[in-house]
Amino acid sequence: MSILVTGGAGFIGSNFVIEWLAASSEPVVNLDNLTYAGNLENLASLEGDARHVFVKGDIGDYELVLRLLSEHKIRAVVNFAAESHVDRSIHGPEDFIQTNIVGTFRLLEAVRAYWNGLPEAEKMAFRFLHVSTDEVYGSLSPSDPAFTENHRYEPNSPYSASKAASDHLVRAYHHTYGLPVLTTNCSNNYGPYHFPEKLIPLVIHNALAGKPLPIYGDGQQIRDWLYVTDHCSAIRRVLDAGRVGEVYNVGGWNEKSNLEVVHTLCDILDELAPPATRNLQLATFRSLITFVKDRPGHDRRYAIDATKLERELGWKPSETFETGIRKTVRWYLDHPDWVANITSGAYREWVGKQYA
């Protein structure tokens, strides 16, 4: 038996596949259609490992998914595949509707057909784990308590609305058809293989190139940051022991304003890669900070209450923000080729459009 991971060439999915195969002998079928965000270089360390089967394809391809499920005797699906960048969803929501809503629907249909044909014991043991986001809950004011699993859905961007729709479909497939689903809603991740369109890798990349560090609006928006391998360990734990039909919030109790995050990154870079060593005439990377036009409809604050996951399943993050962010900066300094390979071509076009 194997598990099917979708979107396993992206940021979190590739970390998940690498961690899974380091901890378990169970093979992984990795279905990813390699959009701009999918990168096989993320999986280079698995080359030659027969337990990893990569398939280039779409989660919306019903026939392909059904064939993979049967051929590989899949016992669990972990669904990471999605369009994931809020700013891109503002420029063009169509792909978000197609993959996050229609794609998830077709994936669920293929899984339902396969699951219906399984013998009873395998049916009982089967799991469909849907990886979602805290952004579906909307925005908090500074004094609001953190999001629990019972917080009402109030998505504000085309991205979060499309993820909310997919969460509802997953829930409905459990209630209507009995499909054994689990949903996780996680806060902002950071770490290795993070595409440099997102805040943390973008700031590291721009700083090292001596380019402006763009802060939207006043930089006082708050996100709750979790090191990516902690997200992966939470997903493994929920897959192993989560109660069917339940939702688990995942977070690291690390609320930071964007400006605080960027200051921290500049300070670590000043220490590990001082501007002078990069031929930059700057006293500190902080001098590159530039306030730019705010994102339309920008959510002010996200914060996750992960008490249920800790209480029921004993999960806790291993990294603090301080340890995780240092590891992250170190990883980007140690992998200039990975960054160089993805920051050409289409990436430049995006940066040109977004920060014009």
Taking 3-state DSSP, the helix, strand and coil percentages for the chain, each rounded to the nearest 5, stand at: 50, 15, 35
Interface with ligand NAD in residues 118-177 (CB under 6 A): 131-133, 163
Catalytic position from the list 32, 58, 83, 134: 134
Q: How far apart are CA 336 and CA 329, in angstroms?
A: 11
Q: How far apart are CA 132 and CA 238, in angstroms?
A: 13
Is residue 194 within 8 Å of residue 203, measured between CB atoms?
no
Question: Binds 223, which of ligand TYD, ligand NAD, none (CB < 5 to 8 A, cut-off by type)?
Answer: ligand TYD
Print the binding letters for residues 81-120 with ligand TYD: x by CB under 6 A, - otherwise: -----x----------------------------------
Question: Binds 329, which of ligand TYD, ligand NAD, none (CB < 5 to 8 A, cut-off by type)?
Answer: none
- Whether 294 sits among the annotated catalytic residues: the reply is no
Catalytic position from the list 135, 167, 230, 319: 135
- Whether 322 sits among the annotated catalytic residues: the reply is no
Question: Binds 32, which of ligand TYD, ligand NAD, none (CB < 5 to 8 A, cut-off by type)?
Answer: ligand NAD
Q: Rule CB under 6 A: choose which of 4, 20, 103, 343 binds ligand NAD.
A: 103
Q: Confirm or reject binding of residue 258 to ligand TYD (CB under 6 A).
A: yes
Residue 111's closest CA among 127, 97, 99, 125?
Answer: 127
- Whether 135 sits among the annotated catalytic residues: the reply is yes
Helices (H), 178-320: 199-208, 228-241, 258-272, 307-313
- Rounded to a whole number of angstroms, the distance between the first and last alpha carbons of the chain is 50
Catalytic position from the list 58, 83, 137, 159: 159
Residue 145 DSSP code: P
Is residue 201 within 8 Å of residue 333, measured between CB atoms?
no
Interface with ligand TYD in residues 27-56 (CB under 6 A): none
Helices (H), 151-194: 158-177
Q: Rule CB under 6 A: choose which of 30, 35, 157, 258 binds ligand NAD.
A: 35
Q: Confirm or reject binding of residue 80 to ligand NAD (CB under 6 A).
A: yes
Number of chain residues interacting with ligand NAD (CB under 6 A): 31
Cα torsion 5, 8, 11, 16 to 10°: value is: 50
- Residue span binding ligand TYD (CB under 6 A) among the ranges 165-173, 178-186, 213-221, 265-273: 213-221
Q: How far apart are CA 327 and CA 318, in angstroms?
A: 13
Question: Binds 107, which of ligand TYD, ligand NAD, none (CB < 5 to 8 A, cut-off by type)?
Answer: none
Cα torsion 103, 183, 162, 233 to 10°: value is: -90
Residue 275 DSSP code: G
Helix or strand or coil: residue 80? coil
Chain position carrying tokens 């990516």: 228
Q: Rule CB under 6 A: choose which of 183, 188, 249, 343 binds ligand TYD.
A: 188
Q: Rule CB under 6 A: choose which of 4, 11, 46, 68 binds ligand NAD.
A: 11
Q: For the CB of residue 21, give the shortest distance to ligand NAD in the complex, in Å.
A: 17
Active site amino acids: 134-135, 159
| Residues at the contact surface with ligand NAD, assessed by CB under 6 A | 6-7, 9-13, 31-35, 37-38, 58-60, 80-82, 84, 99, 103, 131-133, 163, 186, 188-189, 195
